[in-house]
Amino acid sequence: PSSPSSSFLPIAEKEKNPRFWREQAQETLRRALSLQELNTNVAKNVILFLGDGMGVPTVTAARILKGQLSNNNGEETVLEMDRFPFVALSKTYNTNAQVPDSAGTATAYLCGVKANEGTLGVSAAVTRSQCNTTAGNEVTSILKWAKAAGKSVGIVTTTRVNHATPSAAYAHSADRDWYSDNEMPPEAIQQGCKDIAHQLFENIPDIEVIMGGGRKYMFPKNTSDVEYPNEEKFRGTRLDGRNLIEAWRKTKPKDKNAFYVWNRTELMKLDLNKVDYLMGLFEPIDLVYELNRNNETDPSLTEMVEVALKILQKNPLGFFLLVEGGRIDHGHHEGKAKQALHEAVEMDRAIGRADIMTSSEDTLTVVTADHSHVFTFGGYTPRGNPIFGLAPMQSDVDKKPFTSILYGNGPGYRVIDGERENVSTVNFTDANYQAQSAVPMRMETHGGEDVAIFAKGPMAHLLHGVHEQNYIPHVMAYAACIGENTGHCRSGAPTRSPSGLLAATPMFFSLALLRLLF
């Protein structure tokens, strides 16, 4: 994608007329009033889009970027997630951390319980890195609940498939960094703990769709990578000598078609009508940033989501799909706001594609983040200011210019001859430019403020205020009639939604909800 224009657009004539804003507000009011008739259908399908590190400032900046990529001012642009009718806030803290990490948060929004920082798919009774605290403290995820209900399930991520977010859907690990047995301490292996890649194929062996990165954790140590045969850092890591891809193939029934692909060309050649199981591992570790992606060899997040939906939609009982825009987080950690925001825009495109391919009548879609970052933008910038541009004034202390985007801490801290670096001497629009930070750190940190939850579809109105993060999967399960809380599904006279799908009566849902709350 091209970079935003370096000059901002003048205020549109229509915006000078009060009627424009009044009519816009009245149209929004009409849409809001239409929401008084709640969608209480059963959610045949559930899609969870997780923007890793996508705090509210990131959402706003991505909105502006999306508009500027289309040569607009940007502020007035509407993201796909902005169209969702219900919005809530999520409290992201871990049981032992005010500012959380992606593992404890993933356990919350996938398994429905808060957990300690660095742990996956286990309760807060588990201490990070202590294998012997795991047994008996495992907690299951909504992906497993959906699978138990006969639905198809899928995981799509731009990180490795055994990274924190996807791992909480299937693994139980005292440490998020146990990607393969190579990264585990000997005592953990001796005590019987399994690495996360191993658990991907063992715990829920019949996940229909798995796409992302992480090839090297699936192959024996020192196995050359198929795409980068001469790169030592991309060689296999497994100490147990197992080829997990072959093990995955062998677990599939003989009458089912299972495909493993490692590049976009192979993915796009597939006849999806003949695909029952798909494993796509497109990089040895994480996928390439969207800005750096090779359009011929690497699929975009949007393309992966489309493929996943076409496979999962074949199940008449519906599906659960977890989609992670995982490298938003990586861009921020590296202080590379341009990479982070383009990742967010691409995830928004994927949300739009899913919207086209599904119906709000029978599909609950939730978009949220696990946590925020210490990313901000400000400086009294005028309307349409390039999102990666300079603030309109210099600092009134050091008399130097500054970019609108800044970080509270991170690798962008620069002191030249005892003073803050003059950003006009560097290319601050470069994709890998590290925005200035107040505190020097090798890696920028997460932020601790609440993050947004956007929801549409059946029972989306249950996401409506300020919630604990672990509330999210309980709503999704309630809407889909899966998991433990299904009394409202078994009782009461069912009705048919306009699309002909089975739905419980609104009154019964209301009574069940009242019992649940009180």
pLDDT digits (tens, 9 = 90+) for 138-170: 999 999 999 999 999 999 999 999 999 999 999
CB neighbour list of residue 501: distance below 8 Å, 6 or more residues apart:
41, 42, 44, 361, 362
**What pLDDT shows up at residue 491?**
52
What is the model's pTM?
0.93
Q: Does 373 carry a binding-site annotation?
A: no
**488: helix, coil or strand?**
helix
Mean pLDDT of the chain: 93
Q: Give the model confidence (pLDDT) of 362-398 as tens digits.
A: 999 999 999 999 999 999 999 999 999 999 999 999 9
> DSSP alpha helices (H): ranges in 3-101?
18-34, 56-69
Q: What pLDDT, on a 0 to 100 scale, did the predictor assign at position 411?
A: 98
Mean of pLDDT values over 439-449: 98
Compute CA 116 distance to the chain's CA centroid, rounded to the nearest angstrom: 20
Q: Does residue 342 have a known ligand-binding role?
A: no
Cβ partners under 8 Å of residue 277, min gap 6 = 206, 207, 208, 209, 252, 256, 257, 258, 259
The response to whether 446 counts as a known ligand-binding position is yes
The reply to whether 370 sits in an annotated binding site is: yes
Tell whether 163 is in a known binding site: yes
Q: Which domains does the chain have, with CATH numbers?
A: 39-374+449-480 (3.40.720.10), 391-440 (no CATH)
In the chain, the amino acid numbered 14 is K
Q: Which residues contact 88 (CB under 8 A, 6 or more apart)?
A: 452, 453, 455, 463, 464, 465, 466, 467
Query: Would you say 484 is a known binding-site residue?
Result: no
- Identify the CA nearest to 320 among candidates 90, 87, 110: 110
The number of C-alpha atoms within 13 Å of 340 and in the hemisphere containing its C-beta is: 33
Cα-based torsion angle of the residue sequence 302, 452, 94, 328 in order, rounded to the nearest 10 degrees: 40
In degrees, rounded to 5, the angle at the alpha carbon of residue 51 between the alpha carbons of residues 161 and 349 is 100
76 labelled ligand-binding: no
Q: How far is CA 423 from CA 97, 271, 435, 444, 491, in A?
A: 35, 51, 9, 19, 65
Please report which confidence band the pLDDT of residue 111 belongs to, taking 50, 70 and 90 as the band edges: very high
Q: Enter the DSSP assignment of 11.
A: P
Q: In what helix (H) or strand (E) does residue 87 lie, and over which residues does it extend? A: strand 86-91
pLDDT computed for residue 515 by the predictor: 38
Active site residue 102: yes
Residue 498 has pLDDT above 50, yes or no: no
Read off the pLDDT of each residue in 482-491 and give the average, rounded to a whole number: 85
Convert the pLDDT of each residue in 235-271 to its tens digit. Answer: 999 999 999 999 999 989 999 999 999 999 999 999 9
Assess whether pLDDT exceeds 60 at residue 505.
Answer: no
For 11-26, write each residue's pLDDT tens digit. 788 989 999 989 999 9
Please write the tens of the pLDDT for every residue from 339-358: 999 999 999 999 999 999 99
DSSP class of residue 112?
S
Check residue 290 and give its pLDDT: 98
- Which one of the listed residues 90, 102, 123, 152 is annotated catalytic? 102
Element (H, E) at 351: helix 337-357
Choose among 380, 230, 256, 386: nearest CA to 311.
Answer: 256
* 380 CB-contact burial (10 Å; exposed 0-12 / middle 13-18 / buried 19+): exposed
